[in-house]
């Protein structure tokens, strides 16, 4: 029975086939032709996948070639000039940077007073009621149409209990209730899965805010105790706002960006 490295042992004892090296060399040189034949003749889905993969390969190849070429040529070294070193004719303009910082701070304070927040998505598409709420017909003859079911993802708090089913006007199905959101920190570029504390504002309508409907552009409050942020005064920050950046009902998850 063939044991352990029997192939290598056979090669050691008997050597290679007489045409082995020839065949290998020819096979390798044929590869270019086969690849081009494939690229020309493939059709349909296979072609799409193949072209995508090949495109990625080519980009990599070009990058490596460029890197190799960079080594050979001489480049201007940007690091050599230290920062802050200013040519002679600009010597008297240093005071500007500090002034810019101060004026920015004043502008931000004014905006806060006005209630306008700087958010990553300033404008979002408004969702109409027919889109968000679906009419549920009830009654003996299915004529009454006062119940509505929420068709978008929503958040209900921890202590939420439904009103008696006969009287509840807005139905929030359990399958569409989410508790966690994937929140990205814009500077750290890291994403965390944090529990939602509540819906702060839904840009489409205040009704949605009270219902807890989460659509694209909604500002939610998340529990950031995981991140271990601390205020100036030494207090632990455990809640922060984040804005939702995707359509949760289409993707099955809530992706948000932390508002710092």
Partner 1 sequence: MALYNFKKIMVVPTAKEFIDITLSKTQRKTPTVIHKHYQIHRIRHFYMRKVKFTQQNYHDRLTQILTDFPKLDDIHPFYADLMNVLYDKDHYKLALGQINIAKNLIDNVAKDYVRLMKYGDSLYRCKQLKRAALGRMCTILKRQKSSLEYLEQVRQHLSRLPTIDPNTRTLLLCGYPNVGKSSFINKVTRADVDVQPYAFTTKSLFVGHMDYRYLRWQVVDTPGILDHPLEDRNTIEMQAITALAHLRAAVLYVMDVSEQCGHTLQEQLELFNNIRPLFANKPLIIVANKCDVKKITELSEENQKIFADLSVEGIPVIETSTLTEEGVMQVKTEACDRLLAHRVDTKMKGKKVHDVLNRLHLAMPTKRDEKERPPFIPEGALTRRKAMEVDAPKRKLERDLEMELGDDYILDLQKYWDLMNDDEKQDKIPEVWEGHNIADYIDPDIMKKLQELEKEEELKERAGEYDSDDESEDEEMQEIRVLAKQIREKKQLMVVESKEKDVHGPRMPRTATKVERKTLEKEMGNLGLDMNDKDGSHYAQQARRSRSIAKKRKREASAPPTSKTRSQSASRPPRDQSGLRDPKMAKKAKKIMKNSQKGMNRQGKKGEADRHVFDLKPKHLLAGKRKSGTTDRR
The residues binding partner 1 (CB under 8 A) are 1-6, 9, 12, 43-46, 49, 134, 151, 173, 175-176, 247, 249-253
* Measured CA distances, 163 to 68, 172, 178, 197, 212 (Å): 69, 11, 19, 21, 16
| CB neighbour class for 119 (10 Å; exposed up to 12, middle 13-18, buried from 19) | middle
Provide, rounded to whole angstroms, the least separation between the CB of residue 130 and partner 1. Answer: 11
Chain Cα centroid distance, residue 20: 51
Report the SS3 class of residue 147: strand
Specify whether the CB–CB gap between 258 and 240 falls below 8 A: yes
Nearer to partner 1, 175 or 206 (CB): 175
Provide, rounded to whole angstroms, the least separation between the CB of residue 9 and partner 1. Answer: 6
Nearer to partner 1, 118 or 251 (CB): 251
Provide, rounded to whole angstroms, the least separation between the CB of residue 3 and partner 1. Answer: 4
Nearer to partner 1, 109 or 134 (CB): 134
Provide, rounded to whole angstroms, the least separation between the CB of residue 42 and partner 1. Answer: 9
Provide, rounded to whole angstroms, the least separation between the CB of residue 246 and partner 1. Answer: 10
Nearer to partner 1, 5 or 34 (CB): 5
Which candidate, 219, 213, 214, 218, places its Cα nearest to that of 239?
219
Specify whether the CB–CB gap between 67 and 79 falls below 8 A: no
């Amino acid at each position: 029975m063939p044991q352990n490295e029997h192939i290598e042992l056979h090669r050691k004892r008997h050597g290679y086939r007489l045409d082995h090296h020839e065949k290998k060399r020819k096979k390798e040189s044929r590869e270019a032709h086969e690849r081009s034949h494939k690229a020309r003749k493939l059709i349909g889905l296979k072609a799409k996948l193949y072209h995508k993969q090949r495109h990625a390969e080519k980009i990599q190849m070009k990058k490596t070639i460029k890197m190799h070429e960079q080594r050979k040529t001489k480049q201007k070294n940007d690091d050599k000039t230290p920062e802050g070193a200013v040519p002679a004719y600009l010597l008297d303009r240093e005071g500007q940077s500090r002034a810019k910082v101060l004026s920015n701070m004043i502008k931000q304070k004014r905006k806060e007073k006005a209630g306008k927040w700087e958010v990553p998505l300033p404008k979002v598409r408004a969702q109409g009621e027919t889109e968000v709420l679906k009419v549920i017909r009830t009654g003996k003859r299915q004529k009454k149409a006062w119940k509505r079911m929420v068709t978008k993802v929503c958040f209900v708090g921890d202590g939420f209990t439904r009103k008696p089913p006969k009287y509840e006007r807005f139905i929030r199905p359990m399958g569409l209730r989410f508790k966690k959101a994937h929140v990205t920190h814009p500077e750290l570029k890291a994403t965390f899965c944090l529990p939602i504390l509540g819906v702060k504002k839904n840009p489409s309508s205040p009704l949605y805010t009270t219902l807890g409907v989460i659509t694209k552009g909604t500002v939610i409050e998340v529990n950031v105790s995981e991140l271990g942020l601390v205020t100036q005064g030494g207090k632990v920050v455990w809640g922060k706002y984040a804005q939702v950046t995707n359509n949760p009902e289409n993707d099955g998850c809530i992706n948000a960006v932390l508002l710092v």
